[in-house]
Structures are given as C-alpha cells and as structure tokens.
Amino acid sequence: MSENKLRITADLGGQVAIVTGAARGLGREIAETLASCGALVCCVDINEETMSDTVKSITDGGGKADAFACDVTDSARVNEVVDEVVKKHGGLNILVNNAGITRDGLMMRMKDDQFDSVVAINLKGTFLFMRAAAKPLIKARRGRIINIASVSGQIGNAGQANYSASKAGVIGITRTVSKELAGRNITVNAVAPGFIATEMTAKLAPEIIEGIEKETPLGRLGTPRDVADTVLFLASDAADFITGQIITVDGGLTV
C-alpha cells in the first residue's frame, strides 16, 4: 500500500470497514484504498494465509487493518465476525461485499454443485453479511453498504448462468435493502465491474482478451483501482444522497 496509488481521496478517519474477499484481486485493492484514506479495515476471507499479506501490506504502509477468517456462507460465523469487529474496534461504518467465485460452464453441462456454490458465496454471502451488519450500522446512525455486482448480472454472459444469476441477485438485493435502510441513514449501492485485469481474467486466452478490448469503447480492460476508486467514492461523504444505485464500471461495454 502506498500513497501514490491514490487518484482520489476521502477522509475515512475513525471509521471501521469490513471488506469480504480481501485476500487478493479486487478485495485487496479495495481494502488498501479504504485504509489509505484512514479507515480501519477488517479483512475477511476464507484464505487466511493470503489475507495476512493484505493486512501486512496495509500496516506496512502505515494503515490499520485486522484479519477475520470466515466462510461467507456460514451464517453463524458471519454473525460472529461482525460481533467480533464491533466489540474489538468499537463499531462498524462501512461494509463492502466483494467475496465471490466463478465456476463457468454452459448451462446444459453445468453441475448442480457448480450452480449452488456460486450462488451460495456470491449471493447468500452478501445477504448474510448485510443482515449481520445492519444492526451496528443502524446503531451508528450512519452507514455504507457497497456490494460488488457485475455487468454479467445486467446483460448476462454465455457460460455463466450461475454467476450471472448470482450477480443479478446482488443487484436486486441492493435495491431492496436500500429502501429498507434508507430511513436509518444507511446507503446501499452496488458497483458492477466489466472485464477487470485480475487473476480471473488472466486465465483467459490472449485472443479472448483482445476481443474484449475491441468490444470495449475505451479499448482496454479495467483495473482493480478503477473499481476501488468507485467504492471509495460511495463510502465517502460525497455520496450521501446516493442509494439504491448500480454504478457500472466497464469502459462503456454495456452502453
């Protein structure tokens, strides 16, 4: 983590954030970005070893971070993590639901476990953390919930019936819960990335990447920082009057 990574900034000093799926990729970038702006970031992931790298990166850069091992589909453990965060750090202000997986395959060949595992982690995990976090956020009389959706949940993507369904669900739950919590001064929004240069896209063949870049009006893949900057904006005071929205970060792909 370093100051020169920041393209925008916000004062998140004194705020406690939970970021799920913080061990790598988008989650790590989001955690580091929030920490760079003063938040104490509670990193949540099932991969404890890799998650410790995120925490070390933040603390080595002068930020504040903590680690909490968690399977986001385990309701009891999710409740425990939120309780532990509140007890240890005095409250909760920001929740970023980023944990997610892909198990791609054409619908006719997709196994039940491929569908179930993706929906469980991407959608149920988001629901469980939103439900657990609602109480401390209400108590704080201000809160930010930011869910990571996907353009696949907006327009679909061949070979991703499970992933697209899970992310469409994230969009639906974002809009619903934004209405339920608005009266408590809690905003609930989602960020829908397009194709982002992460470990997931690195597995794609070069010709597929080239085709995606040609279809994208801005002519490139997005970066984790493009997504993290959008999350930071939604977490900041500048987004006080924004709720129930899906902010698409895709270089114009879905225009």
Cα–Cα distances in Å, from 17 out to 49, 60, 81, 166?
20, 18, 12, 24
For CA atoms 149, 176, 230, 215, give the dihedral sign.
Answer: positive
Cα–Cα distances in Å, from 238 out to 11, 13, 220?
10, 15, 28
* Residue 220: Cβ within 10 Å count: 13
Annotated active-site residue in 25, 163, 189, 243:
163
Pairing of strands 186-193, 246-249: parallel
Q: Residue 79 class from Cβ within 10 Å (0-12 exposed, 13-18 middle, 19+ buried)?
A: middle
Amino acid letter, 71: D
Indicate if 246 belongs to the active site.
Answer: no
Q: Which helix (H) or strand (E) holds 133?
A: helix 125-140
Cα distance between residue 77 and residue 20, in whole Å: 13
Which residue's entry shows tokens 């993507």?
Answer: 157
Enzyme catalytic residues: 163
